[in-house]
Amino acid sequence: MFVSRGELIIRFDKVSFDYGPMKPILHEADFSVRRGTKLTLMGQNGAGKSTIFKLITGELKPETGDIHTDDSFTFAVARQIMPQEDLGRTIRKFFERSFARKVYDIDPRIDKVLGVVNMPADHEKLIRSFSGGQQARLLLASALIQDPDLLLLDEPTNNLDREGIRHLTQFLIDYKKTCIVISHDAAFLNAFTQGVLYLDIFNKRVEQYIGNYFDLLREISARIEKENRKNAQLAKKIQANKEKANYFSHKGGQMRLVARKMRDEAEELEESMVDIRKEDKTIRPFRIPSQPELIGEIVRISSFSIIKSHKVVEKTAGISLKKNTHLLLRGPNGIGKSTLLEALANRTAKGASIAAGVRIGYYRQDFSTLNFEDTVRESLSGVMSVQTEEKLRAVAAGFLITEHLINTKIGHLSEGQKGLVSFARLVLEEPGLLILDEPTNHMNFRHLPVITSALTRYEGAMILVSHVPEFVQQIRIDEILELE
């Protein structure tokens, strides 16, 4: 268990919470957070990590149990996605919303916190004019500017380039207050984490560990090995008792009493067997089929635009993509990578052409290609050329989309589950051109090797943007287009 000298500021006491009978999140969960600690909150996609944040902030209330907090402590949350209502606001108006009361010296505070996230900007600039990575920095800055006692960060490295992650990591190393981070980036977490809160999707409880993520893995592995060893020993005794009971039961007289005693002992031993800790489920290996009839050039990029020093700059290129050709777009946050991908997906990119008849599979980092009012079933069936219930369910099951999720609205899913639905749609679409914008965001680390393998084996043309070097290094890349 995690131990710290700081005073308790949060304590969950047998807290249970669910989103209805089909979606339990917590069952009598117990854990505590001490002042000044830096913790990681981990768990499978859809387990309920963001829900725990909402319970801490009071946005949600527990069904049963109690959440004890220090009445004097303040908190701030850096969320994953910029709210739609903030996109039309200026930077100044956006940061003013971080405070309950008017702050008269807001401008120097904004400049200071933008320096922390390495993104100086005009305070009159609209939020929607920033890239996804820049918006991620603004969300982080909106929490930091409040200088809270407890900082809650929900996937803060998503969309950040290497420089942004470096700045954030150093900030958290130097941070003197309490911090809880949700992230699937092990290298980032291990740089500053002192303990792990692990939300078990099977028993709906929170396990508390000392050390970083690798320490967690070692402790869980040792525990599973110990449980397996204990059960193996009990199983041998149970089998021996049952065999003796069967032998003595045929002898008659006092031997039958011995047989009954042996059976009773076997039953007691069976009750002593422990439930082996279950590991998070991983998506099944999958293949994204390529549109079969395509031949020749699929995409040509002869020129493109970037944003440099707040100005549009035209660049020339000589990119030609055919089947089985994978292109990586590379450049810092704000240079225009996502803008170029969107224009390509919409066939409106100036200086680029896509062959007629090519089906485009587009994975957006903000999931705006998904209709949040659709159920998962409607979203998947909507991209199928031939409607087959058996195929739809088989593909969905491979991405951990279970029976109770298939009829859930997209908007009610976690960000990680939306990502799995997006990959399932790509499998059913069978695109000739695959356009991927940060496809590892929100993904459980256990899924990444499976995704890496599927993308490497994809036989159509592919254009990828990713700021995760470990992911990019494992995928087959044939060409790189440096935007800067």
Question: Tell me: the pLDDT tens digits for 155-202?
Answer: 888 777 778 788 888 888 888 899 999 987 777 888 888 888 988 888
Question: Tell me: the pLDDT tens digits for 94-128?
Answer: 999 988 888 888 999 999 999 888 888 899 999 99
Strands 64-69 and 8-18: antiparallel
Report d(CA 428, CA 44) in Å as an integer.
Answer: 24
Give 60 or 403, the one with higher predicted confidence: 60
pLDDT reported for residue 274:
58
State the DSSP string of 427-476. HHH--SEEEEESTTTT--TTTHHHHHHHHHT--SEEEEE---HHHHHTS-
Burial class (CB in 10 A: 0-12, 13-18, 19+), 261: middle
Distances (CA, A) of 365 to 108, 368, 470: 32, 8, 18
Average pLDDT, the chain: 87
Q: Minimal CA–CA distance to 73: which of 139, 175, 126, 148?
A: 148
pLDDT reported for residue 109:
93
Report d(CA 330, CA 468) in Å as an integer.
Answer: 11
**Helix (H, G, I), strand (E, B), or coil: what is residue 59?**
coil
Distances (CA, A) of 421 to 178, 449, 481: 34, 17, 29
> Are 371 and 418 spatial neighbours (Cβ–Cβ below 8 Å)?
no
In this structure, which amino acid lies at residue 56? I
Tokens 């800790």, residue?
A: 277
